Amino acid sequence: MASTHICASNTSYKSSFTNKLTQFNNNKHFPPNLHYPKSLVPPIASLKVDIGTPTTKVDESVKKKKTTKEVIEEEGKYLVGTYARAPIVLEKGKGCKLYDVEGNEYLDLSGGIAVNALGHGDDDWLKAVVEQAGLLTHVSNVYHSIPQVELAKRLVASSFADRVFFSNSGTEANEAAIKFSRKYHKHICTEGKVPATEFIAFSNCFHGRTLGALALTSKVQYRTPFEPVMPGVNFLEYGNAPAAVELIRQGNIAAVFVEPIQGEGGIYSATKEFLQSLRNACNETGTLLVFDEVQCGLGRSGFLWAHEAYGIFPDIMTLAKPLAGGLPIGAVLVTEKVASAINYGDHGSTFAGGPLICSAALAVLNKISNPNFLSDVSKKGLYFKELLKQKLGGNPHVKEIRGVGLIIGIDLDVSASPIVDACRNSGLLVLTAGKGNVVRLVPPLIITEQEIEHAANIIYQTLHVLDGNN
């Protein structure tokens, strides 16, 4: 019976494999004169692959443009269902405008979730990417590469930091910060003492979805499905300086993770007194202060780094979203005292800091770090907030309009989903935040005053949908 079972299983495997290979072959995607190494030929004697003659005709399935319905149906069939996507299929973009496969135009105030700081298709960014792609894309961190060093130099020159570690995303940057914090305390711990290993994070915070960063993220619904997560994280109320100082002084805290401006949490800005209290307590105890600027950093607040507005500086800062203009990157900026605790092999990444990504990031950083650019972000942010207050201030569902620079939240007394949908149907893309009751506006930093006015008008005109959402 065992032999029969194995044979049947093998036959089924052969049949499935043959069908898929035949289907792929029929698409005529193989180049001419393709020869397989013997080691790669499938071990099925009867299987024949007819390469066929190359043809200049475009495959009908490729030539025909897919509809929104078709793409959404295929997404549901082939992708893991981790995203509740909006029912549009975006195809191209330029500046602050996006276009779907049906030809509809949208004004983008989501910015790829605060990623596309220079908008879509920025000329200088595109030039940097194309030129570097023609030279060298990836070599790994086994070797040196010029763009990585140049980007690190620019980041150090424009910040509190002495050294940089590159990753591929914001959650990876925070994972590295967790490891660096633990390693630092082991490094400085005198013989016979137990190093500090715990962390402080705050209400409404978001630091990522990998297990370490997830453990630092306050939303219970994100953590619960994957428990047990990393232990030793203490959640305190955002802004509660006395509670934080008391816990830090107990001597068990390796690092305090805090966002100077919370994005995902609902667009809440820290006070200077709160951050200064954290800095002072960390100085007293040797605890590290980590600023997560993954969303609020790199010009979004009107300052290059959000913490600059407070005049308070961290030991570690994590960056990601806008840094490479839409390509995947993360960065951990550290002081020399932190870097001195890290040795070869303590952390690493295959893809991080590649030549292509770093060339793109240099183009972004060069533009955003221009003082005139940052000044414009501040001015446009103030104008946008004032306009929203004028238009929305009298609506009973609008509790508060807050934020700084071009990270703005409209706090509602009901769910924000109906107005997000209504805005999209009117050609405006916005996000939610907080507990789903905040409209989050994080447009490209290049947005014009005319586009700001257009956005404010659409939001005002769609407010009525909230009346049926009590």
Q: For 332-354, what is each residue's pLDDT tens digit?
A: 999 999 999 999 999 999 999 99
151 with 158: CB under 8 angstroms? Answer: no
Check whether 218 has a pLDDT greater than 80.
yes
Check whether 60 has a pLDDT greater than 60.
no
Q: Which helix (H) or strand (E) holds 368?
A: helix 355-368
Helix (H), strand (E) counts: the chain: 16, 17
Here the tokens at position 121 are 């298709």
Which amino acid, 113?
I
What is each CA distance from 245 to 73, 203, 274, 287, in whole angstroms?
A: 52, 16, 10, 11
Q: What is the pLDDT of residue 192?
A: 80
**How far is the C-alpha of 44 from the C-alpha of 69, rounded, in Å?**
39
The whole-number average pLDDT for the span 213-233 is 96
Q: What angle in degrees, to the nearest 10, is found between the helix axes of 449-462 and 417-425?
A: 120
Mean pLDDT of the chain: 90
Lowest mean pLDDT, pick from 56-60, 126-130, 373-377: 56-60
Q: What is the pLDDT of residue 28?
A: 45
Check whether 72 has a pLDDT greater than 70.
yes
**How far is the C-alpha of 214 from the C-alpha of 415, rounded, in Å?**
25
Task: Give the global pTM.
Answer: 0.87
pLDDT digits (tens, 9 = 90+) for 421-462: 999 999 999 999 999 999 999 999 999 999 999 999 999 999
**CB neighbours of residue 123 within 10 Å:** 9
Owner of token pair 């003492």: 193
